[in-house]
Amino acid sequence: MVVNKADFAGKVEKIVGAKNLILSEAQRRSSSKDCYHFSPVLVPQLEEKFADVIARPQTQDQLRDLIGCAAAHRIPITPRGAGTGNYGQGVPLRGGLMISTRDLNKIIEITTDEARVEAGVILQDIEKAAESVSAELRCFPSTMPTSHTGGFISGGSGGIGSIQWGMLREADNVRHARVLTIEEEPKFIDLERSQLGGVLHNCGLTCFVSEVTLGLAPLVRWQQYVIAFDDLYSALAAAEKIAFDDGMKKRLVTVFEWPIPSYFIPLVKKGAMPDGKSVLFLYTDEAPDFIGDLAAGLGGHITFHEPPKTSVKRGTQIYDYTWNHTTQWAMKADPQLTYLQDRFSNEPGRVAEQIRERKKLFPEVLEHIEFIKDGGVVVPGALSIVRFSSKDRLWELIDWCENNGIRVANPHTHFLDEDTRWYGDEHLARKREWDPYALLNPGHLLVMEHQTAPSDS
């Protein structure tokens, strides 16, 4: 059924009310962006893409009615959390309706073991609520103070805590999700852990996540450390030793090659980033004396220590400089910098060899390593900082990595099936089942761009 934009906006207003409807072009433009500006390749492709209408449902019933209205009129739908994704997966390429989960922010239940929340609950709010029952999040992105839970499980894969608990898709890190189908009469579907294959990292393409249950961990009194080393390879060797030590509890093991530490201005002012030194960031429950001795034995020394917090104030969190916040700090210092998402060999010591080989051909790469567990195996992941010169040079770097045992999840394409984390047939099967008119986030799957549009019948 064809409907003009004004008439459709009127229908949306009847569902959510005028104050929860955004029609001004300036607001629609700004609210339709995510962090694709990290990529100089994506900026010209996505800069002029924005929603026709943005709605902020206040209840699950309003969410269902919005989806039903859009489906009835074959209007494209883009789910929107906090917009902290990094490669355009949340940008409405075909206009249409953007549905913000900002106000679907109820914490339904918190126990020592799990948190059941609406999709718009900010992860930091779960962390705070969990602390009151002596629990904490298992893993979270560096954007935790702003990221929505639904957006994290839809667009994320892991983060701080993954060195201890693995990736989102593992074990029972995500225990349950309630999703909505995209049809004239949307259905709520409750999915348990074994049924989440079409939901996790679906990037808003298969269903609309309305509620999530996350597994929680026992609360740990984390100590934060920055340890400085004379060179990258010494820092890397120390990080490997710590990451592979199953006897040491850890929330973060991160290595930065100089000059990346110089970009972290607040930490530079604290004297934590000595000139010319590569650094290791560490969250552990081990005491300073133990870590000081360990660091000295590995050729480093502690330049910053933050003990467990003793008040409700957030205080300094060095994870604010890790994962893709590193890229943000780098770009503030030098707008010509961008990044890659890569993964090195899990064979102990091999990552240093791979880095040395890459630097011979690509000196424009600076190393930023995040150690994680994937399938119970410690893996050196990375969000390498790259000085951008041209798309051709960037693609040459990606091709070399792929041909030399370094896996790349390319953050410079908005097509999700060009990303190695796209889960293929399972996601496509769920999309056909739950989004029969292909209205969710259209334009982000190459395979569907080459197919005939679904029938309205």
Instruction: Please tell me the number of Cα atoms within 13 Å of 367 on its side-chain side.
Output: 28
CB–CB of 76/96 below 8 Å? yes
The pLDDT score that the predictor gives to residue 457 is 40
CA–CA separation, 151 vs 62, rounded Å?
19
Within the chain, all domains assigned CATH 3.40.462.40 are found at: 223-307+316-408
Instruction: Name residue 350's amino acid.
Output: R
Provide the CA 26 distance to its chain's centre, in angstroms.
26
CB–CB of 289/220 below 8 Å? no
Is 455 a residue whose pLDDT tops 70?
no
Quickly state the pLDDT bin for 1 (edges 50, 70, 90): very low
CB–CB of 116/176 below 8 Å? yes
pTM higher than the cut 0.85:
yes
The pair of three-digit structure tokens given for residue 369, joined into one six-digit string: 């390593």
> Which residue reads 């999915």 in tokens?
191
Quickly state the pLDDT bin for 422 (edges 50, 70, 90): low
Quickly state the pLDDT bin for 314 (edges 50, 70, 90): confident
CA–CA separation, 206 vs 200, rounded Å?
10
Instruction: Please tell me the number of Cα atoms within 13 Å of 292 on its side-chain side.
Output: 6
Rounded to an integer, the average pLDDT of 405-419 is 90
Distances (CA, A) of 425 to 139, 430, 432: 27, 9, 11
Cβ count within 10 A of residue 332: 11
Q: What angle do CA 311, 250, 225 make, to 5 degrees?
A: 60
Instruction: Name residue 429's amino acid.
Output: A
The pLDDT score that the predictor gives to residue 92 is 97
Which tens digits make up the pLDDT trace of 15-47? 999 999 999 999 999 999 999 999 999 999 999
CB–CB of 199/207 below 8 Å? yes
Strand spans (E) along 2-140 = 21-22, 53-55, 77-80, 97-100, 107-110, 114-118, 135-137
Within the chain, all domains assigned CATH 3.30.43.10 are found at: 5-100
CA–CA separation, 286 vs 290, rounded Å?
7
Is 431 a residue whose pLDDT tops 70?
yes
The pair of three-digit structure tokens given for residue 201, joined into one six-digit string: 């990292």
CATH of domain 107-219: 3.30.465.10
The pLDDT score that the predictor gives to residue 453 is 46
Say whether 282 sits in a helix, a strand or coil.
strand
Which tens digits make up the pLDDT trace of 219-243? 999 999 999 999 999 999 999 999 9
The pair of three-digit structure tokens given for residue 27, joined into one six-digit string: 């607001």
Nearest CA-CA partner of 443 in 35, 132, 198, 78:
78
Rounded to an integer, the average pLDDT of 112-124 is 98
Which tens digits make up the pLDDT trace of 146-179? 999 999 999 999 999 999 999 999 989 999 999 9
Instruction: Name residue 430's amino acid.
Output: R
Q: Where are the alpha helices (DSSP H) in 87-216?
A: 123-131, 149-155, 162-165
Q: Where are the alpha helices (DSSP H) in 162-270?
A: 162-165, 232-243, 265-269
Mean pLDDT of the chain: 95
The pLDDT score that the predictor gives to residue 423 is 67
Instruction: Name residue 137's amino acid.
Output: L
The pair of three-digit structure tokens given for residue 306, joined into one six-digit string: 């933050």
CATH architecture of 223-307+316-408: 3-Layer(aba) Sandwich (3.40)
Per-residue DSSP letter, 200: T
CA–CA separation, 105 vs 101, rounded Å?
8
CA–CA separation, 309 vs 321, rounded Å?
18
Quickly state the pLDDT bin for 456 (edges 50, 70, 90): very low
Say whether 427 sits in a helix, a strand or coil.
helix
ω into 259 cis (within 30 of 0): yes
> Which residue reads 């902020």 in tokens?
56
Q: Which residues, 6 or more positions from 260, have their beta carbon under 8 angstroms from its beta carbon?
A: 326, 330, 366, 367, 368, 385
The pLDDT score that the predictor gives to residue 2 is 52
Instruction: Name residue 456's amino acid.
Output: D
CATH of domain 5-100: 3.30.43.10
Is 105 a residue whose pLDDT tops 50?
yes
CA–CA separation, 242 vs 225, rounded Å?
13
Within the chain, all domains assigned CATH 3.30.465.10 are found at: 107-219
